[in-house]
Structure 1
Amino acid sequence: MMTPHTPDTSDYRALFLSGVELLDVRAPVEFEKGAFPGAVNLPLMDDEERSKVGICYKQQGQEAAIALGHRLVSGGVKEARVAAWAEFARSCPDGFMYCFRGGLRSKIAQAWLSEAGIAYPRVAGGYKAMRGFLMEVIAQAAAECRFIVLGGMTGTGKTDVILPLPNGLDLEGHAHHRGSSFGRHATEQPPQIDFENSLAIDVLKKRHAGASSFVVEDEGQFIGRCNLPLELYQAMKESPIVWLEDSQGSRVQRILRDYVIDLGQEFVALHGREQGMRLFAERLRTSLDNIRRRLGDQRHRQLRQVMDAALEEQMRSGDIEPHREWILGLLEQYYDPMYVYQRQQKASRIIFSGDRDAVSAYLVQRRYLP
């Protein structure tokens, strides 16, 4: 018996605001290059089948390509894929399916599901149209919304201030990177497209909730390997800055938490104690080595010796206190001079400065100002 039918949709705004489940029937290679948060990839054709059909299309045309696709995905292969879609449809009755342009592949999948007694809606225009909509969301926000940029020395806890704000955009969270030379996590960053999609949906939902301004951390154009959308980056460069201040001791403690305690725990959770700690130590050393040229050979060598001794003691006894020495040295010899210079260059844009409580109160107040 056919299940009740939800109409196909081209209301991309409603799709992303509702957070409904999405079934992506593109090939795995397409999905890996870029996808929407939470989407499930159950492809009509795998990568090899898609390649063969694509070659056939170029050489013999659409009709021959469709016929080849039906031959490749038939019998038990077809049954297994339809069964997987049916299971998804039953567990996600409010969801939608899509392919790249909302054309042949999603129509075929929809028809095969219908033959199995399940009417499941698809997204007209497919991934390409949905992706275009999200990029326009970012462009419109950059043009229409006000931005306040939160600056401050390394370790002042800018992300901790942004996260509780209803109009805060955690750019580093979306990029899965803390933004500095030591900012990589134990797991990889998302593909550029995934970063942009996730950020755009966050912007869309916050604007829908009434936000007309956003607070963002002062970032360069790249957060790790993720590139900020150009319109957003340009808007940030022209926006006022609020400067967060904190004591040196608190900053050292926060860096110790982020780059030693938390990062070490990430590696251990992924790889187990012995291998995780080894990989964690390699990551710290590599991060320091990556800024060797900017530190200079002598300062790099001194900090590397201190870091090596701290890692050895941590491995031996579990004591993390020795890490404070290289963290302090890195702040005093590298990060602080750089940020002092940057603050001087941006002085005309700084509209407020203070500690966490003062800055948080100011940002909450500014949210309601025209």
Structure 2
Amino acid sequence: MRPDTHHYRELFLNNAPLMDARAPIEFSKGAFPGALNLPLMNDEERHQVGICYKQHGQEAAIALGNKLVSGQIKEERLQAWAQFTQAHPDGYLYCFRGGLRSQITQTWLREEAGIRYPRVVGGYKAMRGFLLNNLEQTVSSARFQILGGMTGTGKTDVLQQLDHSLDLEGYAHHRGSSFGKHATAQPSQINFEHRLSIAMLKKTAQGHQGFVLEDESQTIGRCSLPLNLYRGMQQWPLIWLEDSLENRITRIVRDYVQNLHAEFTQQSDPQTGFALFAEQLRQSLSRITKRLGHQRYQQLAAIMDAALQEQERSGALDGHRDWIRGLLTQYYDPMYSYQREQKADRVIFQGDADAVLNYLRRHG
């Protein structure tokens, strides 16, 4: 039998399959990429056992747990665990602290299914602690460069071509603006932190000592950047990406209209998907009404509605260019120009995508 492990670094570097024996409510609050929730107890069973533990102690709680998870319920859970171990012979199981629940799961697998399967010593709590510590240490010790630029210049496109980049918006599953929501939900704050830390861990293991990040607000949708990372981003060197207005509009139509529409239609039938897509686009514009001013909002909303109607009728996307152009020239560009002036002393390079890529590859 492979031994139990406390080598958390190797678990994440090797993408070890992980069987999470915690209750679903615990798993939903925070988990690790690729982990599968196969709980020893469901939420209600865990709740009852917890009350029993507080009132009558561990022995009584264990007895109640054995009573609740017995017969057909126990057989079904054992079967699911056995299937996981067969599909992932190189994996591990864990619970919250690597204690009683994972030990019981391990024992039942061994005694009733003849399967010896290792667990993670310290469980979820120790693994999360490792990732948070890694995140803090990496931010403190690595070199960082920040990629800025007007909306639509393709900062994410540039980052995706660099081995030493960290795609914060990718980890947060959000494009970082009022229009940044995807068709599917963002990860929890905890899962965002896990994704970021694991990315840093893997890239550091590959030999990277410096990283490139996109210039972001402190929050990306509902995900908040770690405070030390955000504070650093206000001081680190800035590379400014430039592109023409027409190219930026084309890119925004691709990302925020064409691709977003495709995301929604993949989730449901075409008619429902388009309706949900159109509603999200309208809500995104509505969220910045106060900053736009009512009259400007009404003008852009009317252009957007006409563009959506034409897209639904014929599939044509060109109508969206008009409200996007207005939004950029009247709102986003003046705001970004002001921010650029405030950060002028930190700008160490500026240019188009090819020039910026060459610079970052040479100085990475």
TM, length-normalised to structure 2: 0.99
Q: Does 1:314 align with 2:311?
A: yes
1:215 aligned partner: 212
AA at the equivalent of 1:218? D
Q: Does 1:6 align with 2:5?
A: no
1:41 aligned partner: 37
Moved over 2 A (4+): none
Find 2:47's aligned residue among 43, 47, 51.
Answer: 51
Q: How does 1:300-311 map to 2 (within 5 A)?
A: 300-311=297-308
Counterpart CA distance in 2 for 1:360 and 1:308 is 37
Task: For residue 352 of structure 1, give the secondary structure of its aligned residue in structure 2.
Answer: strand
- 1:308 CA displacement: 0.6
Find 2:103's aligned residue among 79, 104, 107.
Answer: 107
**Deviations 1:255-293, CA, capped at 9 Å, x for gaps:** 000011000111111111101001111011000000000
Q: Does 1:194 align with 2:155?
A: no
Find 2:60's aligned residue among 57, 64, 69.
Answer: 64
**Deviations 1:137-179, CA, capped at 9 Å, x for gaps:** 1101110001000000000000000112111000000000011
- 1:62 CA displacement: 1.4
Task: For residue 322 of structure 2, give the secondary structure of its aligned residue in structure 1.
Answer: helix
- 1:250 CA displacement: 0.3
2:259 aligned partner: 262
Q: Does 1:349 align with 2:327?
A: no
Counterpart CA distance in 2 for 1:238 and 1:363 is 18
1:362 aligned partner: 359
1:75 aligned partner: 71
Counterpart CA distance in 2 for 1:81 and 1:278 is 40
Counterpart CA distance in 1 for 2:315 and 2:285 is 21
Q: Does 1:163 align with 2:163?
A: no
RMSD: 0.6
2:147 aligned partner: 150
AA at the equivalent of 1:153? M
Unaligned runs of 5+ in 2: none
Counterpart CA distance in 1 for 2:231 and 2:160 is 22
Contact 1:138 1:232 in 2 (8 A): no
Q: How does 1:223-238 map to 2 (within 5 A)?
A: 223-238=220-235
Find 2:19's aligned residue among 9, 13, 23.
Answer: 23
1:131 aligned partner: 128
Q: Does 1:336 align with 2:333?
A: yes
Contact 1:244 1:354 in 2 (8 A): yes
Q: Does 1:175 align with 2:167?
A: no
Counterpart CA distance in 2 for 1:237 and 1:102 is 39
Task: For residue 211 of structure 1, give the secondary structure of its aligned residue in structure 2.
Answer: coil
Identity %: 62
AA at the equivalent of 2:198? I
Q: How many residues align?
A: 363
Unaligned runs of 5+ in 1: none
- 1:199 CA displacement: 1.0
Find 2:114's aligned residue among 114, 117, 126.
Answer: 117
Counterpart CA distance in 2 for 1:258 and 1:67 is 55
Q: Does 1:203 align with 2:211?
A: no
Contact 1:167 1:215 in 2 (8 A): yes
Contact 1:42 1:85 in 2 (8 A): yes
AA at the equivalent of 1:96? Y
Counterpart CA distance in 1 for 2:236 and 2:11 is 31
Counterpart CA distance in 1 for 2:161 and 2:201 is 18
Task: For residue 215 of structure 1, give the secondary structure of its aligned residue in structure 2.
Answer: strand
